[in-house]
Amino acid sequence: MFITIPLLRKWLWRVLVYILLSGGLVFTATPFIWEFSSSFKFNAEIFGYPLTIIPRNFTLSGYTRLFSGEEIPFIRQFFNSSIVATGYTILALFISSLVGFGFAKYDFRFKRPLFVITLATMMVPYQVTIIPLFLLMNTFRWLDTYLAVIIPGAFSGFGVFFMRQIMLSIPNELLDAARIDGASDFGIYLRVALPLSGAGLAVLTVLFFLGSWNDYLWPVIALRSEEKFTLPVGLATLLGLYKVEYGMLMAGAFMATLPIILLFIAGRKQFVAGMTAGALKL
């Protein structure tokens, strides 16, 4: 079979792409594989040389001690993180989609300045807001409660901007038809706009859940009781002054990673589709 130059270039380009993707996969997956492997090792083997992927002295002590609750109430803190991340994600999705729908489909006074102010909130460093936020939570008496780690960050400038771009792609004729049928403004948002914005909501769900699940700085400031700690804060308490059980720490880190991986696998199609949805609408 005769191979033409353009066909050869196409094959070479495809091989190069596969090589680069395989290299990226190895580069990305290696830390997770090493983390999972280290959760079954003792400290001496974790820091031994040469590094090993398959444990020479297999042990489940890291997991048994973790779930026993002797060092930290791991199951309770895992539950805390689930409550906080789920509550934060639902509230942030509702606010972002509702405000984005308003900016996309309604004309009102000061619309453009308000949208510019919303975008400007993304330029303010998070660390700058910590002290005022702490004083505000103290005034509301929300410190050491789930409200303090769920509500303050529920408004997202990026989420509003992203959902506005998604809502702009919804034909106005569908909204007018719903109005003719007697639907209220909130009914149009709930029954027409939201179902047509599933791809964008999937993207924000992953981003919001991931950000809340991994958040450490604000929960460690706002929460005081060990039984109310989220998982990142609880795992940080395993770092002792003179000794650290890295096997147990790696076991906890791996267990904390599982929900994010499962969430992304479950919504990967919607996530990829939503990354480009509405990208050309300005």
Q: Pick the residue with more confidence: 183 or 244? A: 183
pLDDT-derived band at 199 (thresholds 50, 70, 90) equals confident
Spatial separation of the C-alpha atoms in residues 210 and 248, rounded to whole Å: 22
Q: Which two tokens stand for residue 174?
A: 């569908």
Span 70-110, pLDDT tens digits: 888 999 999 999 999 999 999 999 999 999 999 999 998 99
Residue 281: predicted pLDDT: 46
Span 12-56, pLDDT tens digits: 888 898 999 898 888 888 888 888 898 898 888 888 878 788 888
Residue 183 pLDDT more than 60? yes
Residue 188 pLDDT more than 50? yes
| DSSP 8-state class, residue 196 | G
89 contacts 205 by C-beta, under 8 angstroms: yes
Instruction: For the chain, list the domains and their CATH numbers.
Output: 58-276 (1.10.3720.10)
Residue 271: predicted pLDDT: 63
End-to-end Cα distance, the chain:
50
Q: Token pair 């400038």 is at which residue?
A: 157
Q: Which two tokens stand for residue 189?
A: 């948002």
Q: Which two tokens stand for residue 222?
A: 């706002």
Residue 282: predicted pLDDT: 43
Residue 13: predicted pLDDT: 87
- Average the pLDDT over 152-176 and give the result: 92
Spatial separation of the C-alpha atoms in residues 180 and 201, rounded to whole Å: 27
Spatial separation of the C-alpha atoms in residues 189 and 195, rounded to whole Å: 9
Q: Token pair 């689930």 is at which residue?
A: 82
Span 237-249, pLDDT tens digits: 887 666 677 888 8
- Average the pLDDT over 256-270 and give the result: 79
Q: Three-state SS for 244?
A: strand
What is the pLDDT of the chain when averaged over all its residues? 87
Residue 230 pLDDT more than 90? yes
Instruction: Identify the bridge partners of residue 239 per DSSP, sorted by sequence position.
Output: 244
Residue 276: predicted pLDDT: 57
Residue 272: predicted pLDDT: 63
| DSSP 8-state class, residue 239 | B
Spatial separation of the C-alpha atoms in residues 232 and 246, rounded to whole Å: 15
